[in-house]
Chain A
């Protein structure tokens, strides 16, 4: 991404919107902001930004509702959730609705700009908190240190693949949860930044497609199951 990504900010607090606008500075081009779901949907469909920064909680539905209503017509728009919310189910719900990452509102300006660029480039952005949620949701059911555990039956493998993280993905997520940036994760694990990004994107895909029990439960609580269906 050489050009500055075009960004829309969606949050029901005006003060926060102008704060984010100021923090993002010259690194990105903010093409508009919206304070409600209706406004946001209209704005995104009109502007077709590269990235929409979405508040998870808004009075009339929040980020999940915006993503659902924008839908197919703006498939090129990428969503990044930005929230103070601590509740895992809210964060997982917005990711499963289609957001490509989640960062907390305490993130610094330069870090946020970098996250926007990363999402605009098609990669996923995991904050330490999101990494923690994912590790929790994909907690290893089998006791550790048993590499010789019997393989699941072949026909179940397709599902198992989506429902489990590979040891490498787990290791990458643990580093992110520990506060490592992608570059530092790469250094620590002796792999390239590109590979780290590939692992994180793979985890995002699993997060969105897996039917793992915990994820389904969270999705159900947010009445998202209908979205997952045919």
Chain B
């Protein structure tokens, strides 16, 4: 009980609205002083009343003991040594409960049955008056504390995430300030990461979807080659082995666009319908003649067209020198086996 002491100045400023014992100004537990302070009477008068009550078979002692045990101690107003006070409090509380039991036991034994019931009722009522508000306060403060703890935890999670992601990236950007391309890449990657964290896209973890797989592939290519890739998807669906091949082909198309086209931006558009998936990868770069693919660009023939055909899909490359390139990929859904 003694541990529930608030800082001094704070409770001084607030009027003593609640009943608190004053262990530092009383001779025993400070019950009378506390009651006196609460009702605004001289403490001598309260003490006298308590003594008078004791005349009725020691009732005053029982009441005092119970009050000592149940009323929380108020803040110390200085003066007496804290350790002695705490020891007295602890001992006193135990002793008080003990005494209260003995006295009540003695009282009820000597009385007739009706009177005993009455006495128990009075004591129970007093207990209720004291204990119920205390319990309510306890529960309220516990739930407030819990809410605060949850808030604090959430804040810590956000702080941790921002530290691991945004702050690290900002530090990197400061270091690489001389390389605009890399800085743009870092900013872009961070933006993508933060955005997916904020939106908590389904499929970003656990069960994979076509759209999520395409976005991840785009992010990887973007990171490798430093060209921003704008991903737009319509519809979505679960990923299977054949669609995995489609994603790989799209990844290859994006890589080609980022590596060779010299385009400022690559657009990826995917439309997932009930029975088919179509993906378009477009750049505004140098373009080329698809009929005369250079030998070192096997990627288009093997990794895109060949891969799509192997999985019963279709790939077309539309390009003309100087006019950019668009790779069109299409695959029927559901026909897998």
Interface residues of A (CB under 8 A from B): 84, 86-87, 106, 108, 128-129, 131-132, 135-136, 139-140, 143-144, 174, 177-180
Return chain A residues, CB-CB under 8 Å to B264. Answer: 108
Cβ A144 vs Cβ B269 within 8 A:
no
Name B265's closest neighbour in chain A (CB-CB): A179
CB-CB nearest 7 A-B residue pairs: A179-B267, A132-B232, A178-B269, A135-B234, A178-B280, A179-B282, A177-B269
Cβ B195 vs Cβ A132 within 8 A:
no
Cβ B269 vs Cβ A84 within 8 A:
no
A178 touches which of B228, B274, B326 (Cβ 8 Å): B326
Return chain B residues, CB-CB under 8 Å to A139. Answer: 234-235
Cβ A178 vs Cβ B282 within 8 A:
yes
Q: How far is the CB of A171 from chain B (nearest CB, A)?
A: 12
Name B194's closest neighbour in chain A (CB-CB): A84
Cβ contacts B269-280/A at 8 Å (1 or 0 each) = 101011110001
B269 touches which of A86, A87, A132, A140 (Cβ 8 Å): A132
Q: Give the interface centre of A84, A129, A136, A140 by most chain B CB atoms within 10 Å.
A: A136
**B152 on interface, CB distance cutoff 8 Å:** no
If A144-B273, A174-B269, A178-B267 touch, does A86 touch B234 (CB 8 Å cutoff)? no
Cβ B195 vs Cβ A86 within 8 A:
yes
Interface residues of B (CB under 8 A from A): 191, 195, 199, 228, 230, 232-235, 264-265, 267, 269, 271, 273-276, 280, 282, 326
Return chain B residues, CB-CB under 8 Å to A136. Answer: 234-235
Name A134's closest neighbour in chain B (CB-CB): B234
B232 touches which of A84, A106, A131, A144 (Cβ 8 Å): A131
Cβ B275 vs Cβ A144 within 8 A:
yes
Return chain A residues, CB-CB under 8 Å to B282. Answer: 178-180
Return chain A residues, CB-CB under 8 Å to B276. Answer: 144
In the assembled complex, 26 residue pairs joining A and B whose CB atoms fall closer than 8 Å, in A order, are A84-B191, A84-B195, A86-B199, A87-B199, A106-B228, A128-B230, A128-B232, A129-B230, A129-B232, A131-B232, A136-B235, A139-B235, A143-B275, A144-B273, A144-B274, A144-B276, A174-B271, A177-B271, A178-B267, A178-B269, A178-B282, A179-B230, A179-B265, A179-B269, A179-B282, A180-B282
A132 touches which of B191, B199, B234 (Cβ 8 Å): B234
Q: A136–B234 Cα gap in the complex (Å)?
A: 5
Name B236's closest neighbour in chain A (CB-CB): A136
Return chain B residues, CB-CB under 8 Å to A108. Answer: 264
Q: A173–B265 Cα gap in the complex (Å)?
A: 19
Q: A128–B270 Cα gap in the complex (Å)?
A: 11
Q: How far is the CB of A133 from chain B (nearest CB, A)?
A: 8
Please give 12 more A-B residue pairs, beta carbons under 8 A apart, in addition to A84-B191, A132-B232, A174-B269: A86-B199, A128-B267, A128-B269, A129-B232, A135-B271, A140-B273, A143-B274, A143-B275, A144-B274, A177-B271, A178-B267, A178-B282
